[in-house]
Structure 1
């Protein structure tokens, strides 16, 4: 897909959030399955009284059941349509969208901005509780219940070995032609006063199932089934380990996406599309 903004169009950034419980993920799918992208594009077409659908590009294509508080997308709209509807679009979308997805801000951005390729990091949170009574019913769609006591210190010890640039093939579901090399910038866990453990996971990008696989490995350390050195050994082995479980999606939320200053957007966009490899390995296109 070309990143050039065509003559007569303007690029608009959307800041949005959604409860992923009722969606089959972000991306539109065949067969009429309900998706976040589909709902927003349908609403946008309706409120602008357009005869065509304007395609959205998103920072992170979340899976079925995954939530977002700080998702970012962009869309290219005809300049005259934006001039006519821009100030009214936000309220109109609020009236048209279902209650489990909201657009909070619409803003015109430089042509070099790309919601996906201009991002320098994505930050997710995964929430889990080991309370013997289970999960607060009001939080059941956003917090995983783990029925073994968890040692947060041991989990943090294990997490430190995973930081930095690595090939995360052992923690990713491979996609044809996509690299599994990522830079994990932060992986830390904190138990709150309410007993809920929040894992903060930040990286330049994530491959498919990476966050949920990392959390699955750390849970095995936290409940004593594996030692703190085990997740690092799995990473070094470079192959999927059947003991690494992909935890359920409802505990995962995309919290925030980071972007560089406007003057650096185009350079970051280009860099993110380049082939990426570790020393001594062959690279492939960034996914």
Structure 2
């Protein structure tokens, strides 16, 4: 049966999810999304594909995934699918947009970048109660100049093995094109990290290393010295998951979806 590919923009509070990917006996974002879709269509053949599999506790305001829906089902549901999903999804996960895309679109492999933000409150009293789910508390004052000085040496294409949980047959080479810190009007320090892709725990490991520079315990040049390592560094503490949010996934023009997907599939050497 002919199908149509749909792009779904999704946001969620990761606090009560065991990450994105479906896992037996665990509550996951993919699990609740497929369950909701399954009440409307045959969910067994949707082929749900996501831009980035976030870890347990990590949030998203700009997650992207795609599904393939039979054309008759889409024609029946097009006008009401958003409203129906809003009624079926739990309050901590929302589908914010649904639109048809070319069959060459791949939420994972067509992506040109993923951008994350990590929020840290270094105030004496800690994070504001209403932001406790997406902001960590840091007991030592943070120096923004030191954070940014250390961050600039971590951008570019490198082997981030020291900052990753290595997977068999997977590369730890990545290209970070943005890593910087700002202090928002509420006083919270926010790290912005953008790359074509990330390996598991990479962003939280980078933040964990940089925080020790920001509070004065490490020299600004120290995080970059770890880029010579070929294995995960025991000196790096992984920052807590709940401070991290996936805020945006970027894609090329429609005509370039397939080309980008093919390039992404090639293993970095």
TM-score interval for Structure 1 and Structure 2 normalised by the shorter chain: over 0.9
How far off is 1:9 after superposition? Answer: 1.2
The answer for the alignment partner of 1:41 in structure 2 is: 34
The alpha-carbon deviation at position 235 of structure 1 amounts to 1.4
Find the aligned partners of 1:72 and 1:241 in 2 and give their Cα distance: 31
Whole-Å Cα distance in 1 between the matches of residues 43 and 135 of structure 2? 41
| Aligned equivalent of 2:231 | 239
**Number of residue-to-residue matches in the alignment:** 269
Name the SS of the counterpart of 2:166 in structure 1: coil
So what's the TM-score if we normalise by structure 1? Answer: 0.92
TM-score w.r.t. length of structure 2: 0.98
The structural deviation recorded for 1:55 is 3.4
CA-atom RMSD in angstroms: 1.1
Q: Which runs of 5+ in 1 are unaligned?
A: 1-6, 278-287
The corresponding residue for 1:282 is none
Q: Give the deviation of 1:53 after TM superposition.
A: 5.6
Q: What is the CA distance between 1:134 and its match in structure 2?
A: 1.2
Secondary structure of the equivalent of 2:39?
Answer: helix
Partner of 1:185: 177
- How big is each residue's C-alpha offset from its partner over 1:212-242, in whole Å with a ceiling of 9 and x where there is no partner? 0000000010111110000000112333222
Aligned with residue 157 of structure 1, among 149, 155, 161: 149
In structure 2, C-alpha distance between the alignment counterparts of 1:237 and 1:177, rounded to whole Å: 18
Q: Which runs of 4+ in 1 moved over 3 A?
A: 50-53
Secondary structure of 1:62's counterpart equals: coil
Contact kept, 8 Å, 2:13 with 2:58, in 1: the verdict is: yes
Taking the aligned partners of 2:54 and 2:263, their CA distance within structure 1 comes to 23
Secondary structure class of the residue paired with 2:108: coil
Q: Do the aligned residues in 1 keep the contact of 2:7 with 2:65 (CA within 8 Å)?
A: yes
Which residue of the partner structure matches residue 14 of structure 2? 20
C-alpha distance after superposition, 1:127-157 (max 9, x if no partner): 0011011111111111010111111110100
2:5 aligned partner? 11
SS in structure 1 at match of 2:154: coil
Tell me, in whole angstroms, the C-alpha distance in 2 between the residues paired with 1:163 and 1:251.
21
